[in-house]
Chain A
Amino acid sequence: MMLSLLHLLLVLAMPILLVGVVNRTKSWWVGRRGPGLLQSLWDLRRLLGKQAVLSTTASALFRSGPYAVLVCSLVAASMVPLLGQFAPLSFDHDFVAVAYTLGLGRIVLMVCALDVGSSFEGMGAAREASFSTYAEPAFFLLLGTASAATGMHSFADAIGALHHSAHFALMAVPLVLALLILLQTEASRVPVDDPLTHLELTMIHEVMILDHSGPELAAMQYAAALKMALYAGLIAALLNPFDPRLAPVAALLFCVAAMLAVAVTVGCVESLSARLPLRWVGGYLLLASALALAGMAVVGVTGGNP
């Protein structure tokens, strides 16, 4: 119960904080002070107070969609382990449910983007759709590897107990890198997408929500930030050496520290590298699958969980 509350707190707070940390890191690299860590919270509050302006082309789907996206991300968040070997909702093969719940959110997001009939938003949706076809197999390869290595089948167990398995150090490197690439894809960060770009032709996530405004935009932005937090949390859970049931405080501290470290990494990558040309992004995402396959090879060669 206590752990579930902690999990909920993390889910609510970390998206805001992580976005803040990424932005601060980027500001630091360019020598600015940058916005406060909680800036995105104030942005959300401002949006919630505004009234939406609707496109004349939009249908009823357009305004309902963002809330469906938000609910999907929250439901998925209840199954993703953040604190280590623990998630409030956990059952065998729940990672399939996580992937497909997020998939539902993604398809709703794309449908909303297409609803206004703009070519730019269509392009964004097309890119999101095709990049997700590369990301999904990588995710399943990763989980297949983890669950073969641990012999456990729920998301929390497969990821959280991975550090008990033999040759963890060999596996962790490719898996963490694969997760980082997935994070960059799903949360639309450089080098896959640039959240700060101001050219509609090259955006992915930001262009899809161009026509949303007011509370709906807030829902979309929060859902996107939450996705980043989930992947950062996954990396944290994979590396977390503490059992949240036995040492909750240590697990929590490690989790928060690791998530912040991931955010700093993301910020550094964004400051030091440019986004890839769109035609290279597919190849970059295949790298995630290749890394997961490398992890798989390690498990296969070392014999996995006896």
Chain B
Amino acid sequence: MNQLIQAVLVLMLGAALCLLPIRNRARAGIGLLSQALATALAWSVVLPVLFGAADITGALPWAYPIGELHFRLDALGAFFLSWSLPMTLLGSVYAVGYLRSYFDGPRHLGVHFALLNMVSVSFLLVYTGEHAVTFLFGWEIAALAAWLLVIWDYPNQKVRFAGFNYLVSTHIGLIFLVAAVMILYTHSQSWFLDDFGVWLRLNPGTLRNTVFLLLVTSFGLKSAFFPFHSWLPRAHAAAPAHVSALMSGVIHKAGLYALLRFILLSGKPDEWMGWFLLVFSALSALIGGLYTVGQRDLKRLLGYSSTENVGIAGMGFGIGCLGLSWDLPLMVALGFGGGLLHVLNHAFFKCQLFYAAGCVYQVKHVVDLERLGGLVKLMPMAAFCFLGGGLAISGLPPFNGFASEFLLYSGLLGGHALGIWAQLSLALVAAALAFVGAVSALSITRAFGVIFLGTARDDSLPPGQEANRWMLLPMGLHALGSLLLGIFPLAGFSMVAGPVTLFLHGSPDSVTAANLAAVAATLTRVGALSLGLLLLILLVLWLRFRAERAKNLEHGATWACGYGAPNTRMQYTGTGFSIDFARQFKNVLTLVERRKAPVGYFPQGSYVVTDCVDAVERRLYSVIGHGDETAAELSHKMQEDDPRLAFSMALAALVLIAMLVFLVEGALP
């Protein structure tokens, strides 16, 4: 425990020192050093706990009315801490490269690095806090720090709007969380998560279901599940690349952590909770995936794919919950194991993709698909990291996404001792997951093909070149991680095994061990397949090309049907790539088209603009926009002196109060 407290202190000290009036380089150095030191300190206790040592608990006396603060580091928290801290460190390293042009300028960079430190502090608080107040406090630090990091480019009004949007959404989420905590506090008369757990386990029923729904809403807003994702595309598009990467890959995983923590606390969830979580998550995956198809802005696209991927991880948790409620330990292991592994894998490949997008932005100053092109020859590192991340995010071998999705499929199609209709329903969900995978392959091919292949579309942009080493290093490490976790998925599973054991607490040790071994065996096969595939491809390529180096190859223009493009803008566009597909889902995707058709014999100035806007956000604003009018209209229609209205309103109010009293009555001990 001491090391964790030291880590918090080191991070806060580092954050404070970053603010000193010294040179920007020194500030960045302090930020990185303190992060590295804190990571090392935390790892010294986190890794033993993750790999089987006993939980670490601690308490700090605190002033009234909080009382004593309790901390506990168990395998679940250790799992999340073990990669969150180093990845934040890598994000800070990337920040050094990304913000390099500001180092000698007048801008104070210390704030940025201090905020990155505070993000790490929030992880330490949230992932170890046993006291509801510490938990909420850490939650809030993360939200505020992320908000301030997003608005790095604050002079831009769009960026401020995106930040504000995020801030409001995350606080609406906080309200739901606080509501849930208030209910739990009223009933357990305690601030400790453990006591919440005792109450949750002993009192299944309406109130527990309400708490569950409140929590899912709150965590859904945090992790950007559909339909709570509307803040996400704007925030990811506005933030600097490393902030988007950290938010999507690391910070918002706190929502999934909290979801798992409460599932763990509530013991055996009801069956409906499992189905609800499964369908809710599948919906996120589907809609998030579909939205990636229409995006022109690369970072918006990656943002939507976060919604898709938290959905995929959530499907794993849904499977696990169903397993818990049906007492099927293998399904529990596959569901939570697959979900947690996907969380880890997603952190690897999503940061990698955002870092690659950052490299593009750094050189070209745009991430609009339709203006880029042909970058693979100018920035091969970024291109190959993007391609690798893209294959991983589509769940394709030999990358890590394949391993976690394979576990989910095994959970869905395992044919555990279930009724036939349950089996078939799960198979339907598996088909949905397959659809999501294919859609994500489509949008990644589109993004990679349009940005990195072909030839440059816009000559007015600065020439491309590889990004600096500070940016390449974190991206390369993430890419290496994605590949290694793909061909050796057991390494990832060894990190996940601890938390999965927690979920199997109901079964005897031998059963737990047998089920973990079964999952490990599955992953061994998956890893062997990925490794074999990779080696075979490399072998064939080596056999084919080893002799050819000396030969001069014949080159010619691309076959263009006797028609060489007179200008590079005439290449296939990203919109063209996806428009047919997107039109088929026009009920889900809102395609806004503005067009001015050509008129007359010598038409001039005609255009078509197709935009894929967020349906939820659009609806939200139209409701808010019309809200004032509707309220005014309603009040106008009501006649104040109508006694029937007054009576009925009073009656409704009385019923409401009676219900509240009834609820509280039930709550008192």
Binary CB contact string for chain A from 90 to 134 against chain B (1 if under 8 A, 0 otherwise):
011100110111011011001100111111111101110110110
Closest chain-A Cβ to B338's Cβ sits at a distance in Å of 12
**Cα–Cα, bound, A244→B350 (Å):** 45
A17 adjacent to chain B (CB < 8 Å): no
Interface: B415 (CB within 8 A): yes
Q: Given the complex of chains A and B, what is the CA–CA distance between A8 and B581 in angstroms?
A: 38
| Smallest CB gap from B544: residue in A | A67
Which residue of the partner chain, among A129, A148, A210, A296, contacts B445 with CB atoms under 8 Å?
A129
Q: Which of B376, B397, B526 contacts A104 (CB 8 A)?
A: B397
Among candidates B532, B557, B577, residue contacting A125 with C-beta atoms closer than 8 Å = B577
Of B150-158, B274-282, B405-413, B630-638, the one contacting chain A is B405-413
Inter-subunit contact A59/B453 (CB<8 Å): yes
Asked if A211 lies at the interface with its beta carbon under 8 angstroms from chain B, I say: yes
Which segment of B56-64, B102-110, B424-432, B591-599 sits at the interface? B424-432
Which residue among A52, A74, A92, A147 has the maximum number of chain B CB atoms within 10 Å of its CB? A92
Q: Are B377 and A300 in contact (CB under 8 A)?
A: no
A93 touches B413 (CB 8 A): yes
Q: Closest Cβ of chain B: how far from A237's Cβ, in Å? A: 19
* Bound form: Cα–Cα A72–B444 in Å: 19
Residues of A within 8 A of B426 (CB): 144
CB contact under 8 A between A141 and B442, given known A92-B522, A117-B374 = no
Kindly state whether residue B609 has any CB partner on chain A within 8 Å: no
A178 near B: Cβ within 8 Å?
no
Interface size on A, residues (CB 8 A): 78
B571/A148 in contact, CB under 8 A: no
| Size bracket, chain B contacts | 35 or more
**B427: A residues at CB distance < 8 A:** 140-141, 144-145, 147-148, 296
Assess A118 versus B541: contact at CB under 8 Å? Given A93-B413, A123-B572, A299-B420: no
B441 touching A129, Cβ below 8 Å: yes
Find out whether the CB atom of A100 lies under 8 angstroms from the CB atom of B540: no
Known: A75-B533, A101-B397, A304-B423. A130 touches B554 (CB 8 A): no
- Contact yes or no, B558 A153, CB < 8 A: no
A contact residues around B387 at 8 Å (CB): 111
Contact pattern, A 56-77, Cβ under 8 Å of B = 1, otherwise 0 = 1111010110011011101100
Binds A, one of B295-303, B320-328, B388-396, B600-608: B388-396
Q: Contacts A93-B413, A101-B533, A122-B449 given: A56-B434 contact, CB under 8 Å?
A: no
A172 to chain B, nearest CB (A): 18
**Closest partner residue, chain A, to B433 (CB atom):** A140
Counting chain B CB atoms within 10 Å of each CB, which of A55, A67, A106 scores highest?
Answer: A67
Measured in the bound complex, the distance between the Cα atoms of B398 and A104 in whole Å is 9
A277 close to chain B: CB less than 8 A? no
Query: Complex formed: what's the CA distance from A117 to B396 in Å?
Result: 24
Complex Cα gap A59–B374 (Å)? 9
Could you tell me the distance between the alpha carbons of A118 and B568 in the complex, rounded to whole angstroms?
10
| Nearest CB in chain A to that of B571: its residue | A117
When each residue 220-246 of chain A gets 1 if its CB lies under 8 Å from chain B and 0 otherwise, what string results? 000000000000000000000000000
What string of 1s and 0s marks CB contacts (under 8 Å) between B510-548 and chain A? 000000000000100110010011001100110011000
Whether B571 lies near A54 (C-beta < 8 A) is: no
Asked if B581 and A136 make an inter-chain contact with CB atoms under 8 angstroms apart, the answer reads no
Chain B residues closer than 8 Å to A63, beta-carbon distance: 545
Q: Is A151 an interface residue (CB 8 A)?
A: yes
How far apart sit A69 and B180, CA to CA, in the bound complex (Å)? Answer: 52
Q: Is the CB of B445 within 8 A of A52?
A: no
CA distance A236 to B397 in the complex (A): 28
With A52-B553, A93-B410, A144-B428 as contacts: A200 and B561 at CB distance below 8 Å: yes
Top 6 A-B pairs ranked by shortest CB distance? A144-B427, A122-B572, A117-B454, A114-B449, A129-B442, A130-B581
Taking A57-B374, A91-B525 as given, write out 16 further A-B residue pairs in contact, using a Cβ cutoff of 8 Å, ordered by the A residue number: A59-B376, A64-B545, A96-B413, A100-B397, A101-B529, A107-B441, A107-B444, A119-B570, A122-B449, A130-B580, A133-B435, A136-B431, A136-B435, A147-B415, A148-B423, A151-B415
8 example contacts (A-B, Cβ-Cβ < 8 A) are as follows A51-B554, A93-B410, A97-B526, A97-B529, A114-B445, A120-B561, A136-B438, A153-B415
